[in-house]
Chains A and B, each alone.
Chain A
Amino acid sequence: RKEVEQDPGPFNVPEGATVAFNCTYSNSASQSFFWYRQDCRKEPKLLMSVYSSGNEDGRFTAQLNRASQYISLLIRDSKLSDSATYLCVVILPLYNQGGKLIFGQGTELSVKP
């Protein structure tokens, strides 16, 4: 089982749609969680951190369920500019080595006019 698993893509949605991405992680000791966005041939950029209480930034809402080891990202009123690959990222603590980022495989989103 992969350490971080995401919904397979691509997601093709019309403008204005609401789209949800899901991510599960296998190690219950995982700590910080993030969603990154990566445009084609560009570097990943931090979209938002994910907290147990849930957090919202404009049209984007992230949720963390530690009991189910599940992370989600909801995009409302999607725009053409939201088209990108969305990467779920988990920090796995490693005793005596600190922690390391584990990336999910990414979910490609294509928003169409």
Chain B
Amino acid sequence: DTEVTQTPKHLVMGMTNKKSLKCEQHMGHRAMYWYKQKAKKPPELMFVYSYEKLSINESVPSRFSPECPNSSLLNLHLHALQPEDSALYLCASSQEGPGLAGGLSTYNEQFFGPGTRLTVL
């Protein structure tokens, strides 16, 4: 299985709703990522989990809350979003991620899921 899956494919929510995006991989990868992509722009990194621990938070607003229940699953909980949060949300995984204890590290190539297209009304 060389796939990253994401659900739902599409999501429309109001600004007062609470929803969750889900991501799953069964490649044994130990690093998982959330990206946000607006039209005609490259993906922007939001969060990195490495060995199930949050490793990088790119100063994302607290209305986005990531969760990594186990090494195969990654969730993104959404609450009180704004219309400007409408975008394609991409999950990715890689074999290795940042080291926990610091020092220089590199990622292997990342494999992306198909994304969730989110519209906030």
Contact among B42, B48, B50, B107 with A87 in the assembled complex (CB-CB below 8 Å): B42
Given contacts A97-B55, A100-B48, contact A42 B107 (CB under 8 A): no
Secondary structure dominating the interface of A: strand
Complex CA–CA separation, A104 to B42 (angstroms): 7
A44 near B43 (CB under 8 angstroms)? yes
Given contacts A98-B56, A98-B97, contact A91 B104 (CB under 8 A): no
Contact among B90, B107, B115, B117 with A98 in the assembled complex (CB-CB below 8 Å): B107
Contacts of A93 in B (CB 8 A): 104-106
The chain A residue with its CB closest to the CB of B105 is A98
Closest chain-A Cβ to B39's Cβ sits at a distance in Å of: 9
A96 near B103 (CB under 8 angstroms)? yes
B105 near A46 (CB under 8 angstroms)? no
Contact among A43, A96, A101 with B107 in the assembled complex (CB-CB below 8 Å): A101
Which of A34, A46, A103, A106 has most chain B Cβ within 10 Å? A103
Contacts of B102 in A (CB 8 A): 95-97
Check B7 for interface membership: any CB of A closer than 8 A.
Answer: no
